Amino acid sequence: MAESTTARQFWIEAPGRGAVLGARLPPRRDHELSIRTLYSGISRGTEALVFRGGVPPSQYQAMRAPFQEGEFPGPVKYGYSNVGRVVEGPDGLAGQVVFCLYPHQDRYVVPLSAVARVPAGVPPGRAVLAANMETAVNVLWDARPVVGDRIVVVGGGVVGLLCAWLCRGIPGAALTLVDPNPARGPAAAALEIPFRTTPPERDDADLVIHASGHPAGLAAALAAAGVEGVIVEASWYGDRPVPLPLGEAFHARRLTVRSSQVGRLAVARTPRWDHARRLALALTLLGDARLDALITGEDRFEDLPRVMARVSRAPGDTLCHRIRY
């Protein structure tokens, strides 16, 4: 049996309104783990959109989180960045720190296959970035940057910063991160990423990754790409229409716009990779202490209804907001 038969869960009761509610846990079965949460992370882009009720009906099924309960727009239990300690389970896992794509909840029971061990060199508090790092890994797989590329990343949120951080390691690459909000500069500096608040004057980028979540950012990404350049769209807009300037030089430059979404593995990786292997890689990549710069705030789980309302409308200096249990 699990250590406790009750749990506290965060639910979005209706757009813009959340509550912490009690629930009974099911008995743990032989192939399952009982986990006590240490931290969870708020994905400011997607979760804020869900909290505001911005998921279009056509995407209700596609946007389901792995352990979601309820339905959009609410009541719904939503989230996917949970780090906890195993209380009880098979294979000697008791005491291990694990990551799970689970909503904000203080205790839960999941199959062994649903968790990934957090490497010893990654503090539990930093491991809440795993879902964002997994997204960034998939973006780079879709983008396929190569040696010597001129790379522009538009959007300095968590995913944009992580994409730029991964691109830093490509030999000979010339990298620029663009975000109009100067508050993103310190995090970029901590990760040693060249940062500017205005788009580059040159329009010769080999690769542009767009992760701002704003249509104006995608227009800036199109303007930065050079002839035969590729723009990888990593943003998700929910129910907002996105006008694109496909006149001007779009056709003359023969630009390619490619979407990237973490729910599907990049096509070139599917013969050899699965979601578990990709998540394990993402956790390993979180070993660098400089990534702590992406966690810009922390609050108690009990305060999550108020915190989610604040973060969902917070100014752009909020990156990953961590919840402490």
Neighbours of 325 (CB within 10 A): 18
As a whole number of angstroms, the distance between CA 75 and CA 65 comes to: 14
| pLDDT (0 to 100) of residue 2 | 40
Among 227, 97, 229, which Cα is nearest to 152's?
Answer: 229
Say whether pLDDT at 238 is over 90. no
Residue 280 exposed, middle or buried by CB count within 10 Å (0-12, 13-18, 19+): middle
Average pLDDT (37-59) is: 92
As a whole number of angstroms, the distance between CA 64 and CA 305 comes to: 20
For the chain, what's the residue count?
325
Name the one residue in this structure whose structure tokens are 């979005």.
Answer: 12
As a whole number of angstroms, the distance between CA 32 and CA 29 comes to: 5
Mean of pLDDT over the chain: 94
| pLDDT (0 to 100) of residue 226 | 96
- Give how far Cα 264 sits from Cα of 132, 239, 270, Å: 14, 21, 9
| pLDDT (0 to 100) of residue 186 | 96
Q: What is the pLDDT of residues 244-271, one digit of tens each?
A: 888 888 999 999 999 998 988 998 999 9
- Give how far Cα 4 sits from Cα of 25, 93, 223, 310, Å: 8, 18, 56, 31
Cross-strand bridge partners of residue 321: 42, 297
Q: What is the pLDDT of residues 179-234, one digit of tens each?
A: 999 999 999 999 999 999 999 988 999 999 999 999 999 999 999 999 999 999 99
Q: What is the pLDDT of residues 120-178, one digit of tens each?
A: 999 999 999 999 999 999 999 999 999 999 999 999 999 999 999 999 999 999 999 99
Average pLDDT (70-79) is: 97
Average pLDDT (24-43) is: 95
Q: Are 86 and 94 in contact (CB under 8 A)?
A: yes
Whether the bond between 124 and the residue before it is cis, its omega within 30 degrees of 0, is no
Q: What is the pLDDT of residues 96-117, one digit of tens each?
A: 999 999 999 999 999 999 999 9
Say what angle helices 275-284 and 130-143 make with each other, to 10 degrees. 110
Neighbours of 237 (CB within 10 A): 16
Cross-strand bridge partners of residue 224: none
In order of their start, the domains of the chain are 6-117+288-324 (3.90.180.10), 132-268 (3.40.50.720)
**Which band of pLDDT confidence, cut at 50, 70 and 90, is reported for residue 4?**
low
